[in-house]
């Protein structure tokens, strides 16, 4: 275990200390007085490494990360988990724009709201299944061009507009689960809405339980309502954008 006081520290130095620590076999990190340092945990490996972050981390935390767990006890900024491959990012506040861009594995759990363009270009392949769960609401361009993986939008704070505009446009793979029915008519014609069935709920239980445990909220509080799911109507929605069918 190691505690790093990051007050006034540049991200280069901070990330060097983290990488050196992991190299020496340290499993638990506590980063104190973080404010704005970019690239925390980028590209690091180690399934049993846990990094606790106190303060507001800068952009691009957990990019290309491959195994460790990042716990952010405050809000986080933009580009969380960009192209992340494995591991877990837990945000106990709100997240900025472009969460999980091109994400290809691992989990991102957000207690509060997330910004614009969540899960854009997210993808999955065989056993690689990226999962994002958002507790609050999201901005526009949610799941744009989504190609694989799972996004769950809980809308726990029950605000009226929780799904933004241009929802799931260009989505052609993966599944979106919603804890609340949305006005589907205003959305992309690329996707279809269904009620989640028993199999869906069995599948989701593992992730929702882990989510609830991450934030110390009772699982029943999350699962108590019927869920809906959104899947793409085609794997190639733009196949004939420029050519005739």
Partner 1 sequence: MFRIKNKFNAERDISGCGLCGIINAKKIKTNGSDIKKSISVEHDRGNGLGGGFAVYGNYPDYAELYAFHIMYDNLSAKADVEEYIKNNFIIEKEEPIPTFKTSKIYDHPYLHRYFIKPKSDRPDKLFHELGDDDFVVNSVMLINQNYDGAYVFSSGKNMGAFKGVGYPEDIADFYKLEEIEGYMWTAHNRFPTNTPGWWGGAHPFTLLDWSIVHNGEISSYGINKRYLEMYKYNLALKTDTEAITYILDLLIRRHKLPISLALTVLASPFYQKIDKMDGEKKELFTALRQIYGSALLNGPFAIVFGHSNGMVAMNDRIKLRPLVAAVMGDFTYVASEEAAIRAVCPSPDIVWSPKAGEPVIVEFEEKNIHQKGGLLGL
Q: How far is the CB of 178 from partner 1 (least distance, A)?
A: 21
Return the bridge partners of 153, or none: 134, 178
Under 8 Å between Cβ of 138 and 157: no
Binding site for partner 1 (CB under 8 A): 11, 35-36, 38, 55-59, 75, 77-78, 94, 96-97, 115-116, 139-141
Nearest CA to 29 out of 38, 37, 40, 39 is that of 40
Residue tagged 């934030």 (tokens): 215
- Nearer to partner 1 by Cβ, of 97 and 190: the residue is 97
Buried b (16+ CB within 10 A) or exposed e, 144-169: bbbbbbbbbbbbbeeeeebbbebbbb
Q: How far is the CB of 93 from partner 1 (least distance, A)?
A: 9
Q: How far is the CB of 11 from partner 1 (least distance, A)?
A: 8
- Nearer to partner 1 by Cβ, of 82 and 175: the residue is 82
Q: How far is the CB of 56 from partner 1 (least distance, A)?
A: 5
- Nearer to partner 1 by Cβ, of 75 and 128: the residue is 75
- Nearer to partner 1 by Cβ, of 35 and 234: the residue is 35
Query: Quick one: 105 exposed, middle or buried, by C-beta within 10 A (0-12, 13-18, 19+)?
Result: buried
- Nearer to partner 1 by Cβ, of 36 and 226: the residue is 36
Strands (E) in the chain, as ranges, are: 2-5, 28-35, 50-56, 66-72, 86-91, 107-110, 131-134, 147-153, 173-178, 191-195, 228-232
Q: How far is the CB of 210 from partner 1 (least distance, A)?
A: 27
């Amino acid at each position: 275990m190691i505690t790093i006081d990051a007050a006034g520290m540049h991200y280069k130095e901070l990330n060097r200390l983290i990488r050196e620590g992991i190299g020496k076999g340290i499993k638990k990190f506590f980063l104190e007085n973080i404010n704005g340092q970019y690239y925390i945990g980028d590209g690091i490996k180690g399934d049993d490494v846990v990094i606790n972050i106190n303060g507001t981390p800068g952009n691009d935390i957990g990019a290309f990360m491959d195994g460790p767990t990042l716990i952010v006890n405050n809000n986080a900024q933009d580009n969380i988990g960009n192209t992340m491959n494995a591991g877990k990012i837990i945000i106990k506040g709100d997240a900025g724009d472009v969460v999980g861009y091109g994400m290809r594995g691992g989990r991102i759990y957000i207690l509060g709201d997330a910004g614009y363009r969540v899960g854009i270009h997210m993808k999955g392949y065989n056993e690689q299944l990226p999962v994002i769960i958002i507790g609050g609401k999201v901005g526009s361009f949610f799941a744009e061009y989504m190609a694989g993986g799972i996004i769950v939008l809980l809308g726990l704070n029950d605000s009226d507009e929780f799904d933004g505009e241009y929802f799931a446009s260009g989505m052609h793979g993966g599944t979106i689960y919603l804890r609340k029915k949305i006005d589907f008519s205003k959305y992309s014609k690329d996707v279809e809405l269904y009620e989640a069935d028993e199999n869906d709920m069995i599948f989701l239980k593992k992730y929702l339980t882990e989510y609830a445990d991450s934030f110390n909220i009772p699982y029943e509080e999350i699962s108590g309502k019927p869920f809906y799911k959104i899947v793409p109507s085609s794997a190639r929605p733009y196949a004939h954008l420029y050519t005739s069918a």
